[in-house]
């Protein structure tokens, strides 16, 4: 299985980069991992709703260049929450049904544009709270790693 994480913006903090590197290394045992970063747009202070939509659209266009037609696309958006076992079952089931690539999409500070949400095969929420996109990458990688440990019947923290 190939797992891609498409994300807006660069990870600047070394402690997040270190965690991403560690989980990427751990995941190499289970899947082929690809992390794609696209440039984010600067959001002016007190930007109007129109400007915010334009920013999300520009970021979505950059992300969509990397979305594969044959991939199963999971956007991170406030929608359906799964626990770790349910996420593992979802990943496992996708593999069983012949999906060879899952692409997780993380938006920028304003979220994802409607065009990307419409393309999504599944909208996944980790919480009703908002997280910085850099931290969300670490959380997502940890949960994908945990999913593969569950699928393999290996121990994991509950």
pLDDT classification of 158: cutoffs 50, 70, 90: low
Residue 126's alpha-carbon distances to 10, 67, 123, in angstroms, are 21, 21, 10
Cβ-count burial 127-154 (b if 16+ within 10 Å, e if not): eeeeeebbebbbbbbbbbbbbbbbeeee
Q: What is the mean pLDDT of the chain?
A: 94
pLDDT on residue 7: 96
Q: Given a cut of 90, is residue 50 above it in pLDDT?
A: yes
The residue written with tokens 């660069």 in the block is 10
pLDDT at residue 71 in the model? 96
Question: pTM for the complete prediction?
Answer: 0.94
59-97 residue pLDDT tens: 999 999 999 999 999 999 888 899 999 999 999 999 999
């Amino acid at each position: 299985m190939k797992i891609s994480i498409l994300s807006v913006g660069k990870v600047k903090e070394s402690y997040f980069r270190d965690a991403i590197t560690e989980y990427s290394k751990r995941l190499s045992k289970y899947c082929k991992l690809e992390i794609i970063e696209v440039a984010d747009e600067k959001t002016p202070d007190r930007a109007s709703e129109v400007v915010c939509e334009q920013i999300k659209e520009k970021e979505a266009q950059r992300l969509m260049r990397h979305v594969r037609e044959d991939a199963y696309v999971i956007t991170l958006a406030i929608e359906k929450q799964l626990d770790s076992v349910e996420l593992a079952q979802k990943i496992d089931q996708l593999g069983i049904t012949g999906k060879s690539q899952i692409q997780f999409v993380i938006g920028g500070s304003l979220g994802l544009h409607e065009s990307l949400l419409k393309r999504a095969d599944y909208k996944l929420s980790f919480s009703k709270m908002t997280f910085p996109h850099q931290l969300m990458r670490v959380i997502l990688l940890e949960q994908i790693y945990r999913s593969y440990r569950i699928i393999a019947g290996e121990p994991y923290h509950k």
